[in-house]
Amino acid sequence: MWVDEAIWGHRLYNEQTPWLCFMEFLNVLQAELDEGRAFLEDIPNNLAYVPKSRLHLRNILFNNPQLPVIARTYSNDDKEAWSKWQEAIIKGQSGIDNADFAYLEKRFPKFEHFVSVVQFLRETTIEGENNKRWSSQFIFPYGPNCLYEDLNVKENKSPTNDRRFFGRTGEMLYLMLVRSGRGPQLLVNFQESVLNKKNKFNRLVASLEPKDSMNSSTARLGVYLPYLELPEYQELAGDWLSLLESNIPKYDVIPHLVNIMGLHMIIYSLNRAKDVLEDDTKLTFVLEIVSPKKTIVRELSSDSFTEHNNMSRRAVEAYIRNVEQTEEWEKVTDLSEATSLLALKYEWPQENGIDSANSPEDLINKFISAAINRHKQHVDKFHGTWGKEIGLASRRGARRLRYAPQDMLLKSLVLCVVPKRMEFQDFLDKLYEKYGFIIGDKQALELTEAGRADLEAFSDNARRLEQRLASMGLLRRLSDACAYVENPFGIQEEV
Amino acid sequence: MQIRMNANGKLVIEVKLSASVATVDLPLQLVRYEFLSRVAEGALPGSFSRECYEDILGFKSKLLKRLEERRTIDEEESENDSDLSFRIIRLNPDGLIDDRIVEVNFDE
């Protein structure tokens, strides 16, 4: 069926974390750059790119359990170590035809240097030690040679892209940035860091692959982003450029890019749901700055979270109910015409799909039910999963999930939003204007006027944020009434 | 690297990476000084707030940035080197630094 995809695109995938979304994006960008098409889109939704598989590199780094044992056993005999290791890896590797690892011996004068390098690179694994299969482990993107796509690699079979962890959210991210129009500026910045093949660490990673390695990946097609223009695209690109063009060292900026991108994707997903629900009020988030005691703000932030968490499901139902308002539906006289209409527009029902419905109305109800079941598998979980991943949502000190930002996200926000120095109340205003964050009493006016909380609760909330930022070295109090948020990497001089 | 008094009469740790780039300064207040002394002795009580730690991380980032500048100006990273060598620094279980050089012969 084509319901989630029509609303959000193909696709938002909860099992693809923000970091892996970023890695997928880099793979797309590098592949397109190789073809001279970076950040270009001639025909909408026609993206076809060829990522790299880099199976030698990945087998060496992540499918190589014998390495430490061999290193210890043959620590005084390099020749024997190399020989035994090559035997082991050729036998244990997967995904490479006619595997040959002899090229490594010439490159590493000592076996122990090879071992050190492998150990060092494994320590840069994205998201640290995790339980994912070896072919879904990624290293830090020092440069283009570190980029490869997620694959399912089984013994004696060709590797396939089963979309287990690269679920296309990164491809959608790529299209969003293309359509923001700020691709060229972004490209210039990326070419100095993650796309720079001359970087020393990138060359180190390149040394682990044979010169003429076969790329077993084929063209990837099929991504779909419904909207050609959206303000969200500009906002995302603008925030990334703020971060990239500030004074943060090139690689240190990446975790912040990931957090801010995650936030924008969440905003995108909620706004699309609001569009379907015909709700044009500003999207807002009540944020609790974690306090030791339970406060009214905590309850409101839980409610805010829950409301947003349910929004996409409501949107799916509304989207289908909208069918009943269309002219074509009004012309439908019987069940079989209804079935044909739905099948044409939404690819549902499939041929043998459902038990028979009694009437067009009944068919719609069955459709909603089927759509919501499908929605619940992935897109429904996107808001909650990504909220936790970027440190926007947490259960800290409570049972319910709510919006309670963690330090890493707060830091990303300061680095992104504050040019060099900004008065604290202005900072709160800016967070509200850009992201809809309600933290202090000024932004909470609507809530306090509706009697849901008093001003003091929110001004306490804001005061806790001041303290948090101060403890992170990001805020300076000049006097009782005057506090400045400071971005240690900001470039804008004071006006 | 030295400890000196800056133009405002405040003590700073000043790091100069080379003649071609400006220094990076870390102003020293009592708390920061105490923090650094404790770290040098190898033990850090939990009563120090995260602010000190974050300050040092910020200082590290500024140093890295300055290093990038120095490398560009002094054209140090001759990126056409066919030799890649790295110093891999680790702490061993005794808390002592284990410093080894790794070399790779790789010419793209």
pLDDT value at residue B78: 55
pLDDT at B98 > cutoff 70: yes
pLDDT value at residue A467: 92
The answer to whether the CB atoms of A109 and B105 lie below 8 A apart is yes
pLDDT at A446 > cutoff 90: no
Higher pLDDT, B107 or A444: A444
pLDDT at A145 > cutoff 90: yes
pLDDT mean over A336-358: 80
Higher pLDDT, A430 or A397: A430
pLDDT mean over A21-39: 97
CA distance A107 to chain B (A): 5
Determine which of A472, A485, A486, A487 to mutate to test the interface with B (most B C-beta atoms within 10 Å): A472
The answer to whether the CB atoms of A108 and B105 lie below 8 A apart is yes
CA B62 to each of CA A328, A379, A463, B68, B72: distance values in angstroms, whole numbers, following the listed order = 64, 41, 29, 10, 16
- pLDDT tens string B61-72: 888 888 888 887
Mean pLDDT, chain A, whole residue set: 93
- pLDDT tens string A232-287: 999 999 999 999 999 888 899 999 999 999 999 999 999 999 999 999 999 999 99
Nearest to A204 among B50, B77, B104 (CB): B104
CA distance A447 to chain B (A): 33
pLDDT mean over A381-407: 93
CA distance A118 to chain B (A): 11
Residue of A nearest to B89 (CA): A120
pLDDT mean over A160-188: 96
pLDDT at B77 > cutoff 60: no
pLDDT value at residue A151: 96
Residue of B nearest to A487 (CA): B58
The answer to whether the CB atoms of A252 and B61 lie below 8 A apart is yes
Taking contacts as CB-CB distances below 8 angstroms, the residues of chain A near B49 are 471
| A343-352, A423-432, B17-26, B59-68: least confident range | A343-352
For chain B, what is the total number of helices (H) and then of strands (E)? Answer: 2, 5
**Looking up tokens 């910020």, which residue turns up?**
B58
Share of chain A above pLDDT 90, in %: 77
Determine which of A56, A105, A108 to mutate to test the interface with B (most B C-beta atoms within 10 Å): A108
What's phi and psi for A291, nearest 5 deg?
A: -120, 155
pLDDT value at residue A167: 95
Peptide bond connecting A11 to the previous residue in cis, omega within 30 degrees of 0: yes
Determine which of A198, A203, A407, A414 to mutate to test the interface with B (most B C-beta atoms within 10 Å): A203
Record the tokens describing residue A292, joined without a space: 């030791």
Per-residue pLDDT band at A494 (split at 50, 70, 90): very low
Residue B105's H or E segment, with its range, is: strand B97-105
CB pairs A-B closer than 8 Å:
63
Q: Whole-angstrom Cα distance, residue A92 to residue A184?
A: 43
CA distance A248 to chain B (A): 7
Q: ipTM, 2 decimals?
A: 0.78
- pLDDT tens string A296-338: 999 999 999 999 999 999 999 999 999 888 888 888 888 888 8
Sign of the torsion angle spanned by Cα atoms A443, A449, A451, A454: positive
| A37-46, A284-293, A470-479: least confident range | A470-479
Query: Which of A423, A388, A419 is closest to A406 using CA atoms?
Result: A388
CA A478 to chain CA mean position, Å:
38
Nearest to B84 among A106, A203, A488 (CB): A203
CA distance B87 to chain A (A): 10
pLDDT value at residue A353: 57
pLDDT at A33 > cutoff 80: yes
Q: In the 8-state DSSP scheme, what is residue A480?
A: T
pLDDT mean over B12-34: 89
Record the tokens describing residue A423, joined without a space: 């008065």
Q: Whole-angstrom Cα distance, residue A226 to residue B103?
A: 50
Q: Whole-angstrom Cα distance, residue A21 to residue A80?
A: 42
Burial A166-175 (b: 16+ CB within 10 A, else e): bbbbbbbbbb
pLDDT mean over A40-66: 96
pLDDT at B79 > cutoff 60: no
In the three-class reduction of DSSP (H, G, I as helix; E, B as strand; rest coil), residue B3 is classed as strand
The answer to whether the CB atoms of B104 and A489 lie below 8 A apart is no
pLDDT value at residue A495: 41
The answer to whether the CB atoms of B102 and A473 lie below 8 A apart is no
Q: For residue A308, give the amino acid letter.
A: H
